[in-house]
Amino acid sequence: MIRFAILVAFLIGGAGACLRAQPIDPFHLSIHDRIFAFCGKEGGPCCHAPADVHAPPEVGPLVNCGEGLGCDITTDTCVSACGNPGQACCDGPETRATRWTDDGRLFVPNAFNTRDMCRGSTCEPLSRVCVGGCGMSAGEACCGVQPGVGVATCINPALYCEFAAGSWTRGTCRQCGLPGAPSCRSEPACQDGTTEDVNNICVPCGAKGQPVCDGAEPCRDGSVPKPPLRMTCVAAPCGHEGEAPCADGTCSSGPPDFHPNLQGSTLVCTMNCGHTQGYSPCVSGMTGCPAAAGQTSTFGRAATSMQDEAIGLERIPAASITR
């Protein structure tokens, strides 16, 4: 008898809890809730927040239904036809519809798999109806404020909302990812030749003095990432041992002196001269070697002209070279 009384009290208490119109959350339903969930089912009444719980005007009526449903407030009925323009706003637990706790606190679900209350339109808070096409094409109006967002938005991830002057709640959708525009929510965040900066703006990248680009070619035009952070492109090192000649075709004059040296088909700067053309030691007047008295030195001459000359040089046997 005592056990039966306890069970009756438990069930009555549970029914009272449901009659206080708690929201239906299929992710957290107990067996008791499944039995006594009088609101939130398709074709049944919408769940309402307790009378002493109030929401700001931009939220609208505090109602919701089960998963995949929306509250038609004109009939106070949960319907499956929701989310499209002209239909009731979907307000199940999988959406970002405002919900409430047992102690009257409001919250907006923000799990990674939650979605907007309307598709290709915006939820008008007072009527709880999805209105107008918005947020899908460049030049189209941004969708109005949605629960959990607080500002006008564009649904298409390739767009961003350019807010109207003095307003965060209306604007026009523009293409994102362009130079000077906000980055996109989808990949790639910025178009080729630009990268996202700390302010989520796409800025030019890859050239000397610019940020490095994402992808296989972080820098271009001969520039390289600056160590150690490798966040900025700088001119590639040149003119020293094993490095390419600098832009003017010369190597560092040191000390020590470095000279353009043809290694195979590539010019690099070395402290030696002549060896890679097959001469050892260097001969006076030879391309890239010291000059004899009364002759013009080839040190410091443009690397391109030296390479042209080197192509036509004849190999001189080492035994015939006057020491």
Average pLDDT over residues 72-88: 92
Given a cut of 50, is residue 303 above it in pLDDT?
no
With bands split at pLDDT 50, 70 and 90, how would you rate the model's confidence at 148?
low
pLDDT of residue 37: 59
With bands split at pLDDT 50, 70 and 90, how would you rate the model's confidence at 23?
very low
Most confident of 37-41, 101-105, 211-215: 211-215
Average pLDDT over residues 102-109: 84
Most confident of 11-20, 229-238, 265-274, 284-293: 229-238
Average pLDDT over residues 130-145: 82
SS3 of residue 279 by DSSP = coil
With bands split at pLDDT 50, 70 and 90, how would you rate the model's confidence at 263?
confident
Residue of 175 and 15 predicted with greater confidence: 175
Average pLDDT over residues 46-53: 88
Residue of 90 and 315 predicted with greater confidence: 90
pLDDT of residue 5: 47
Average pLDDT over residues 268-291: 52
Reduced 3-state DSSP string for 155-200: CCCCEEEEECCCCCCCEEEEECCCCCCECCCCCCCCCCCEEECCCC
The Cα–Cα gap between 194 and 178 comes to 8
Long-range contacts of 288-297 (CB under 8 A, 24+ apart): 288/259, 288/260, 288/261, 288/262
Q: pTM of the predicted model, to two decimals?
A: 0.46
The percent of residues above 70 in pLDDT, for the chain, comes to 71
pLDDT of residue 210: 93
With bands split at pLDDT 50, 70 and 90, how would you rate the model's confidence at 273?
low
Bridge-based pairing state of the strands 194-196 and 202-204: antiparallel
Average pLDDT over residues 239-252: 81
Residue of 41 and 143 predicted with greater confidence: 41
